[in-house]
């Protein structure tokens, strides 16, 4: 047996390679650069690699290849779109991560210890978050372009591990933050065990670990489908966990609340894109012909997810938890795109993911701005009268909320419309109806926040709005512009998506 050297298409892999390179530079910076210079250097390196990666993605937008990395990676239209979305969302998230007020000064110090206080006084910063972010983004880029189960698993871990770590790095309420890291980690590992177990059965079923191989096995048949079904079920547990679908959602409210807000923003938005990207690919390509087996399952989960997320969100008193439940509800809406299993469904999902992701980052960016002397204020009762004190911030937040609620002239509406129409087209009427009804419930709590901000008199408790740093401003402004623009005139983006969104096999 001769060994033939592997051939990698570096152009197609370049976005990921750039990020990994950037991350390595970041690690080196940590090791060798003086403390004072680290923050700015890390930020530049991170942003630079992200932008460069985005540029590379743009350059390869018309490429279609399964051979980029010996069949492990597939680059096609959806891949480009998803990677671009992840990169854009990451860039605006990094602007938030650059906020030094959010991260602990020294993660190893005990909360409340002398050491911590000293670290705070000296202005120490955990600049390691930048390379960690880059690793996570690289994993996210890889996740939706993976073309076999190994790569998928590795990518899953690669995007998860940095997030587990970052969740624990909050500056305030550190015990809660560490707790969120622990919960995220334990449950994440638990779900990835299911994922792996499912992968084993898929391998058993198809004698192949590539998506194409699984697809061929599904098409070809032979034997019965027990292994396939077990495989799909357990693999789905892992994926549904990542997107936060009921009943695999339980981590997300706690983690969203405990993690530093920029990390929450990043993981809420970018992880969702990556996870749904992977999900779309595997369901649309490998499992497409076994549609009968998983559509009912996903339909039920989607409906429960929407309704549950919307209902529980009503009862929330904390803005981050509320957004977490809202994101659960949105996971339900997005699942309809997977269920649709048609080209409109794919296009709609990609549009929705992008629109939702950008709005989410924008929303959390606003959350970082509302503070009192002890840091962020996430208790909704203390958001009362925000519209009076800071009309622009409140208006922007209202804009994001309206987009989440799917009010016309915001991107959320176009997203919902397109995803529901795709689902309807594929005959999944029950999901559409459930989606519509839970949208009403969801609207209720979004509106409640608007009422709090605009129609309730402020309480004088020192809650104020930080004058946004220029980076945060960029995030907010960009997000709101995208949210409105995609609501008013989405045609160019939809066209772009439409021309690219076809999975190759």
Partner 1 sequence: MNSLTLLMLLPIFGSVALAATPKANETLTKQVALATTLIVAAATIAMAVSFQRDNVDLQFVEKYSWIPTFGINFAVGIDGLALVLILMSTILAPIVVLAGWNEAHGGRWSVKVFYMLILVLETMMIGVFAATDVFLFYVIFEAMLIPVYFLIGGYGSGQRSAAAVKFLIYSLFGGLLMLASIIALYVMSGDQGGHTFDLQTLSHLQMSSTTQNFLFLGFFIAFAIKAPLWPLHTWLPDAAESATPGTSVLLLGVLDKVGTFGMIRYCLTLFPDASKTFTPMILVLAVISIVYGAFLAIGQRDLKRLIAFTSISHFGFITMGIFAMTSQGHSGATLYMFNHGFSTAALFLVGGWMISRRGSSTIADFGGLQRVTPVMAWSFFLAGMSSLALPGMSSFVSEFLVLVGTFTRYPVHAVVATFGIVLAALYILIPVQKALHGPTTPGNENLSDLNLREKIAIAPVIAIIIALGFYPAPLLKVINPASAHVIAQLGFTDPAPTNGDK
Partner 2 sequence: MIDLALAVGQTQTPEAVMFWILAPLTVAAAFGMLLVKKAVHSAILMASVMINLAFFYIAQDALFLGIVQIVVYTGAVMMLFLFILMLVGVDSSDSLTETITGLRPIAITAAVGFGGLMVSLLGRATLGRPAIGLESANANGNVKGLAQLLFSTYVWPFEVVSALLITAALGAMVLAHHQRIQTRPTQRELSTQRFRGISLANAAGLPAPGVFARHNAVDVPALLPDGSPAANSVNATLEARGDMLATGVFELGKIDTSAGEEK
Partner 3 sequence: MDAANYLYLSVLLFTIGAVGVVVRRNAIVVFMCIELMLNAANLAFVTFSRINGDLNGQVVAFFTMVVAACEVVVGLAIIVTIYRSRRSASVDDASLLKR
Residue 414 CB neighbour total at 10 angstroms = 25
Residue 164, interface with partner 3 (CB under 8 A)?
A: yes
Q: Among residues 23, 199, 405, 449, which is the contact residue for partner 2, using CB under 8 A?
A: 23
Could you list the beta-strand ranges (E) of 258-399. 370-372, 375-376
Give the interface segment with partner 2, choosing from 108-116, 310-318, 452-460, 467-475 (CB under 8 A): 108-116
* Residues β-bridged to residue 372: 375
- What are φ and ψ of residue 241, in 5° steps? -60, -45
Q: Map residues 54-93 to x or -, x wherever contact with partner 3 holds by CB under 8 A.
A: ----------------------------------------
* Residues β-bridged to residue 73: 146
Contact 337, 423 (CB under 8 A): yes
Q: Among residues 52, 100, 101, 150, which is the contact residue for partner 2, using CB under 8 A?
A: 150
Residue 135, interface with partner 3 (CB under 8 A)?
A: no
Residue 138, interface with partner 2 (CB under 8 A)?
A: yes
Name the residue nearer to partner 3 (CB basis): 203 or 424.
203
From partner 1, partner 3, partner 2, none, which one binds at residue 186 (CB under 5 to 8 Å depending on kind)?
partner 3
Residue 461 CB neighbour total at 10 angstroms = 12
Q: Provide the minimum distance between the beta carbon of 151 and partner 2 in the complex, in angstroms, as a whole number.
A: 5
Taken as a whole, the chain contains a residue count of: 505
Q: With residue 446 as reference, give the H or E element that holds it.
A: helix 429-455
Tell me the H-state helices in 60-128.
77-97, 114-121
The string of DSSP letters for 5-38 reads PP-B-HHHHHHHHHHHHHHHHHHHHHHHS-TTTH
From partner 3, partner 2, partner 1, none, which one binds at residue 72 (CB under 5 to 8 Å depending on kind)?
partner 2
Q: Among residues 143, 201, 356, 478, which is the contact residue for partner 3, using CB under 8 A?
A: 201
Tokens 């439940």 belong to 325
Whole-angstrom Cα distance, residue 448 to residue 69?
Answer: 50
Q: How many residues bind partner 3 (CB under 8 A)?
A: 43
Give the interface segment with partner 2, choosing from 4-12, 299-307, 379-387, 471-479 (CB under 8 A): 4-12
Name the residue nearer to partner 1 (CB basis): 10 or 489.
489
- DSSP symbol at 4: P
Q: Which residues make up the interface to partner 3 (CB under 8 A)?
A: 107-108, 110-111, 149-150, 153-154, 157, 161, 164-165, 168, 174-176, 178-183, 185-186, 189-190, 193-194, 196-197, 199-201, 203-204, 207-209, 253-254, 257-258, 321
């Amino acid at each position: 047996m001769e060994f033939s050297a592997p051939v990698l298409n570096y152009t197609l892999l370049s976005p990921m390679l750039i990020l990994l390179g950037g991350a390595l530079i970041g690690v080196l910076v940590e090791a060798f650069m003086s403390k004072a210079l680290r923050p700015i250097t890390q930020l530049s390196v991170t942003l630079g690699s992200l932008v460069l990666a985005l540029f590379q993605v743009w350059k390869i937008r018309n490429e279609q290849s399964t051979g980029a990395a010996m069949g492990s990676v597939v680059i096609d239209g959806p891949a480009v779109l998803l990677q671009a979305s992840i990169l854009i969302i990451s860039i605006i998230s990094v602007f938030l991560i650059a906020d030094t007020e959010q991260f602990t000064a020294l993660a190893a110090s005990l909360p409340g210890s002398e050491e911590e206080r000293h670290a705070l006084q000296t202005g120490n910063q955990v600049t390691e978050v930048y390379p960690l972010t880059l690793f996570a983004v690289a994993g996210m880029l890889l996740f939706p372009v993976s073309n076999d189960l190994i790569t998928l698993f590795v990518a899953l871990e690669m995007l998860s591990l940095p997030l587990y770590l970052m969740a624990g790095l909050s500056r305030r309420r550190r015990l809660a933050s560490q707790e969120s890291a622990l919960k995220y980690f334990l449950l994440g590992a638990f779900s990835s065990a299911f994922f792996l177990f499912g992968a084993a059965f898929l391998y058993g079923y198809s004698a192949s670990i590539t998506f194409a191989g699984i697809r061929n096995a599904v098409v070809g048949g032979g034997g019965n489908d027990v292994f396939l079904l077990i495989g799909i079920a357990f693999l789905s547990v892992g994926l549904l966990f990542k997107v936060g679908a009921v009943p695999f959602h339980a981590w997300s409210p706690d983690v969203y609340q405990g993690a530093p807000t920029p990390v929450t923003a990043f993981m809420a938005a970018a992880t969702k894109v990556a996870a749904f990207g992977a999900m779309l690919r595997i369901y649309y390509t490998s499992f497409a012909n076994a549609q009968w087996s998983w559509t009912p399952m996903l339909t039920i989960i989607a409906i429960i997810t929407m309704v549950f997320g919307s209902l529980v969100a009503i009862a929330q008193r904390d803005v981050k938890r509320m957004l977490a439940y809202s994101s659960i509800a949105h996971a339900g809406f997005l699942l309809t795109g997977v269920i649709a299993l048609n080209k409109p469904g794919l296009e709609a999902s990609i549009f929705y993911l992008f629109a939702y992701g950008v709005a989410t980052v924008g929303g959390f960016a606003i959350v970082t701005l509302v503070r009192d002397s002890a840091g962020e204020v996430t208790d909704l009762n203390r958001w009362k009268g925000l519209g009076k004190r800071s009309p622009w911030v409140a208006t922007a937040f209202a804009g994001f909320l309206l987009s989440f609620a799917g009010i016309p002239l915001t991107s959320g509406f176009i997203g919902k419309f397109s995803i529901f129409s795709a689902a309807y087209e594929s005959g999944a009427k029950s999901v559409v109806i459930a989606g519509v009804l839970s949208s009403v419930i969801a609207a209720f709590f979004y509106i409640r926040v608007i009422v709090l901000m605009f129609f309730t008199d402020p309480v004088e408790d020192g809650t104020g709005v930080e004058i946004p740093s220029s980076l945060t401003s960029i995030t907010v402004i960009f997000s709101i512009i995208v949210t409105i623009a995609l609501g008013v005139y989405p045609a160019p983006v939809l066209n772009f998506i439409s021309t690219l969104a076809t999975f190759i096999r």
